[in-house]
Amino acid sequence: MRVGVIGGGLMGSGIAEVCARSGVDVTVVEADDERAERSRAAIERSLARAVRSGKLDEAGQAAALEHLAVTSTFEDIAGSDAAIEAVVEDEQLKRDVFKRLDDLLPDAKFLASNTSSVPIMKLGAGTKHPGRVLGMHFFNPVPVLPLVELVTSIMTEPETVEAVREFAEGTLGKQCIDSQDRAGFVVNALLIPYLLSAIRMYESGFASKEDIDHGMVLGCAHPMGPLRLSDLIGLDTLLAVSESLYDEFRDPASVAPALLNRMVEAGLLGRKSGRGFYDYSK
């Protein structure tokens, strides 16, 4: 099977790595040559870490790299059996990508989006074949976390869902849950209000960021506190999802705190920028 991944950032590179490690020929498309090089380097570093930790042997690393291609030319994915979009959470950008995919891959089994907030119907509506469009929401870090949310619009065809389920579970070894096409889907509809509440608590001075995080790790057995998790997700992504949730449900719990807005404006996006609620520059 051959798959195109549009976007080679944190999520796109993780999706591509999982595909390559599963023996799937994958082509990552980035916006320019510099970003393409960064994406390939990130995947190579991740594979090397897997070897050092004993989760992958050197033969597996070499095989994965044989299945991987990274390019800045969109047309290089022509002939792919499927495509997964993983660009930034910008609705218009994603809709433009799906229009191009629809034209370039008329015979693809499915066109999936890794979006965490944009309604799938809006992406499918701009294509000639909305029945083969659905959400395939992975979780970060993609090589580690087993979950994929399958999100179907009212137009998604049953055979599309089954093809994606077989690909995710049978080929990639993931576990799927099904979600309706509502903002946030299952996980983020529950998670985002919790993270925003933690940010409000810190913003108000109620508790330090360390105590908030330690409280949830030590008191609730969470593997990571909410502020560190926000940094891992990316504060810009967190903001985008919170806005999508509020637009759909008008729930005050989904309103982004002023501190989150200011941090995103300042470029303090979390781990990917080197600084968020915590400093990762060292």
Catalytic residue of the set 89, 137, 230, 273: 137
Nearest Cα residue to 24 out of 74, 84, 75: 84
DSSP assigned state of 130: G
3-state secondary structure of 147: strand
Only one residue has tokens 């299945």, namely: 67
The neighbour count for residue 274, using CB atoms within 10 Å, is 13
Q: Is 116 a catalytic residue?
A: yes
The Cα 21–Cα 191 span in angstroms is: 29
Query: Which one is catalytic: 80, 113, 116, 153?
Result: 116
Which residue in 39, 117, 153, 188 is the catalytic one? 188
Question: Which residue in the list 80, 149, 244, 273 is annotated as catalytic?
Answer: 149
Residue count (the chain): 282
- How would you list the strands of the sheet with 68-71, edge to edge? 68-71, 25-29, 2-6, 82-85, 110-113, 133-138, 147-152, 175-180
> Could you list the active site residues?
116, 137, 149, 188
